[in-house]
């Protein structure tokens, strides 16, 4: 069983708090409100530091190494981050949250114009990143297929120059074109569906059955894995920084195991993806799993369907 990564949980809320402070500045909030937001952010950063230290201690890092990293004495480090007291405090804060992964909109005190502009910038950055990864994946699969560019163009009924622009990322193809290209390369188009939807700024549908929701997560991960050039699983495991074992990485990419969000987040980052863009898919799966589990309990079954409590898929 993987230990809870307190540092990761504490870090996940920092971007939102920083954006809220910046949004408050743009909206012209009064000084007490701005300083209150700043104090909350400082406390959150301190909580992250405490979580990161505890994670390091759980991995066997000595207090002397912690002290050197924090640029304090060993005695100060021990007193500042007393393990039992600090872990109890951070776990209590986590348990008091309504969700480990809040997705609520920014407060209504912010100007609608600012919210709209920031949302637009964020969506454009996501779309641009997904477009690049989509092109990387198609380019990798083209090279792996061994087909000449002209052969692909003839198969698709397009000019070689246009296919070249798609593979280089200069042109964003329609979904039917992606499907035809993937068929030409002998690959499953479903693994690129999430990247294609994100590149077009399309929000994913919600409330899918648990198996479909799980497949969307798996396909998104396989798409990122393909965009990364399908590196050796040992390299992926290394880049996950201990969040997933080598066997877990293999099972996730083989669509037989779907772990909790911290592990999925680490895998997405290891594959050069953006966790915040995959998180809605995982939350959709988690919601569907909970609904299925509750229904199975009401019906007297011990199995929630395709997944069990350990993330195994059946």
- Tokens 């083209």 appear where? 142
Alpha helices of 146-274 — where are they, by DSSP H? 149-156, 160-168, 175-185, 193-199, 210-227, 233-239, 246-253, 261-270
Chain segment 119-157, per-residue pLDDT in tens: 444 667 788 889 999 999 999 999 999 999 999 999 988
- Give the residue with greater pLDDT, 243 vs 112: 243
| Contact by Cβ (8 Å): 237, 244 | yes
- Give pLDDT, residue 299: 52
Query: How far apart are alpha carbons 164 and 147 in whole angstroms?
Result: 13
Q: Binning pLDDT at 50, 70 and 90, where does residue 314 land?
A: very low
Nearest Cα to Cα of residue 6 among 62, 87, 69, 67:
87
Chain segment 205-223, per-residue pLDDT in tens: 556 788 888 999 999 999 9
Chain segment 31-51, per-residue pLDDT in tens: 988 998 899 889 889 988 998
The answer, yes or no, to whether residue 184 has pLDDT greater than 80, is yes
- Give pLDDT, residue 197: 87
Query: How far apart are alpha carbons 289 and 296 in whole angstroms?
Result: 10
The answer, yes or no, to whether residue 60 has pLDDT greater than 80, is yes
**SS3 of the chain: helix, strand, coil, percent, to 5:** 70, 0, 30
């Amino acid at each position: 069983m993987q230990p809870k990564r307190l540092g990761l949980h504490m870090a996940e809320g920092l971007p939102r708090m920083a954006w809220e402070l910046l949004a408050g500045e743009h909206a012209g909030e009064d000084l007490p409100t701005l300083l209150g937001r700043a104090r909350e952010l400082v406390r959150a950063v301190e909580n992250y530091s405490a979580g990161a230290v505890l994670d390091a201690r759980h991995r066997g890092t000595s207090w002397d190494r912690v002290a050197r990293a924090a640029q304090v004495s060993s005695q100060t480090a021990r007193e500042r981050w007393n393990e039992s007291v600090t872990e109890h405090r951070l776990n209590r804060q986590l348990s008091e949250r309504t969700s480990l992964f809040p997705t609520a909109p920014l407060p209504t005190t912010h100007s609608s114009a600012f919210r709209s502009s920031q949302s637009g910038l964020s969506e454009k950055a996501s779309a641009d990143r997904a477009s690049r990864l989509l092109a990387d994946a198609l380019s990798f699969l083209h090279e792996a297929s061994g087909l000449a560019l002209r052969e692909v163009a003839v198969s698709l009924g397009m000019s070689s120059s246009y296919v070249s622009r798609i593979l280089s990322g200069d042109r964003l193809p329609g979904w039917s074109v992606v499907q035809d290209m993937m068929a030409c390369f002998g690959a499953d188009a479903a693994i690129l569906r999430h990247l294609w939807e994100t590149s077009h700024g399309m929000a994913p549908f919600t409330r899918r059955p648990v198996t479909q929701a799980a497949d969307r997560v798996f396909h998104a991960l396989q798409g990122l894995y393909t965009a990364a050039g399908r590196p050796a699983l040992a390299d992926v495991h290394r880049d996950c920084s201990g969040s997933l074992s080598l066997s877990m990485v293999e099972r996730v990419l083989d669509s037989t195991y779907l772990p909790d969000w911290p592990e999925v987040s680490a895998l997405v980052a290891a594959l050069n993806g953006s966790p915040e863009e995959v998180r809605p898919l995982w939350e959709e799966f988690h919601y569907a799993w909970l609904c299925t589990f509750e229904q199975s309990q009401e019906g007297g079954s011990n199995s929630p369907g395709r997944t069990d409590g350990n993330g195994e898929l059946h």
